[in-house]
Amino acid sequence: MIGTTPAKQYDLLRLLEAELREMGAANVTLLPYGALIATVPATVSHPAPVVAFCAHVDTTPQFTGAGVKPIVHHAWDGSDIVLPDDPTQVLSARELPYLATKVGDDIVTASGTTLLGADDKAGVAIVMTMARHLLTTGGLAHGTIRLCFTPDEEIGRGVHPELPAALAADVAYTLDGADRGELVYETFSADIAHIVIEGVSVHPGWAKGKLVNALHLMARIIDTLPQATETPEVTEGRQGFWHAVTASGTAARAEITIILRDFDGAKLAARGEMLRAVCNAVAATEPRAKVSCTITKQYRNMREALEKDMRPVEMAVAAYEASGITPFFTPIRGGTDGSRFTELGLPTPNIFTGMQEIQGPREWISLQDMAAAVGVCVKLAEGWAKG
């Protein structure tokens, strides 16, 4: 662990640092809080906005990403893809409509027992490929391009408050999206709740009238929260949710971590008040217990800021169309580093990478989708230089 960032993320950051220096990027800097930034110098003499391209180096902690064995299924013929280390993990065009459109593409998977890590190593690869192309291809007119690789995005710590100033960009784009053509400028707003239940610990043999079991109160809180209408497994589209992500403890003391999500700020606040009310109601049933509920802000819907100036989105639309790609807009049921960047004053929509079935063993991606994303980034770099 280096600071709050796991050392294994630094392993990748240092590899990227070395590769950026090798390809000729300028101002390559690994910042103290784990972000790596670099510059592709401008090739135009006139003033042009500074454009940043960003990706995160971590993967989700919810499924193992250790010992990944990537497999490239060249010119995939449309047949079922059986992942060799766990043959029960199968990618089938019958079940995956987007995969069915990729016959002939080069499909990358893991082996069935780990993540592939396309979220967001695909974004990292796209940004690095774009940077090398800009640095080695003559005749491309672009302003100053900034590159940014962040740690800890999956746990909401990717954008340090000092990073936008260090990046010194006028506009940015994250490479952290899904289907080819997806363009995101609307995300969830997010809070996280930490609930602590302190019971009364007594030997169970002599517990009558004395023991207050914190685990029982913890279970009651979770069971009282609305299950049928407001959890991830029963919501979609623009519906928000509460989601218990960890629960642990003993009879004496228990803790729950719950994330709260909604596109609408007022609804998110109401969901937080509902959670507090449930905690208070359960606490009232057992006055000898202590129940606390602390809700902390994580990130906010980037649309709130981007709607004030849609030019970053409009420029992305133009770059998609110049690349022969029809853009479509998806309100993402999650957040990106762009959510935090935008909140801190750096407008940052999100561009597709092609990643699919993310954060599980069936994760896959098309190399052709990744190449299309590189093309969009190059068009963006050129487009902002034209004004």
pLDDT at residue 127 in the model: 98
| Residue 160, amino acid | H
DSSP category for residue 69 = -
Known catalytic membership, residue 119: no
Question: Closest Cα to residue 192, out of 297, 291, 60?
Answer: 297
* H-run or E-run covering 132: helix 118-136
> pLDDT digits over 120-142, tens only?
999 999 999 999 999 999 889 99
> pLDDT digits over 10-61, tens only?
899 999 999 999 999 999 999 999 999 999 999 999 999 999 999 999 888 8
Domain 191-298 fold: Alpha-Beta Plaits (3.30.70)
Calpha distance 280→93 (Å, rounded) = 49
Known catalytic membership, residue 321: no
By the 10 Å C-beta count (0-12 exposed, 13-18 middle, 19+ buried), 221 is classed as buried
Query: Span 276-291, mean pLDDT?
Result: 97
> pLDDT digits over 175-194, tens only?
999 999 999 999 999 999 99
Annotated active-site residue in 153, 186, 191, 230: 153
pLDDT at residue 4 in the model: 63
Pull the structure tokens for residue 143: 């302003």
Calpha distance 276→274 (Å, rounded) = 5
Annotated active-site residue in 58, 105, 152, 182: 58
> pLDDT digits over 90-127, tens only?
999 999 999 999 999 999 999 999 999 999 999 999 99
Give domain 7-187+301-386's CATH number out of 3.40.630.10, 3.30.70.600, 3.40.640.10, 3.10.450.30.
3.40.630.10
Contacts of 383 (CB under 8 A, 6+ apart): 315, 318, 319, 322
Tell me: pLDDT of 2 over 70. no
Show me where the domains of the chain are located: 7-187+301-386, 191-298
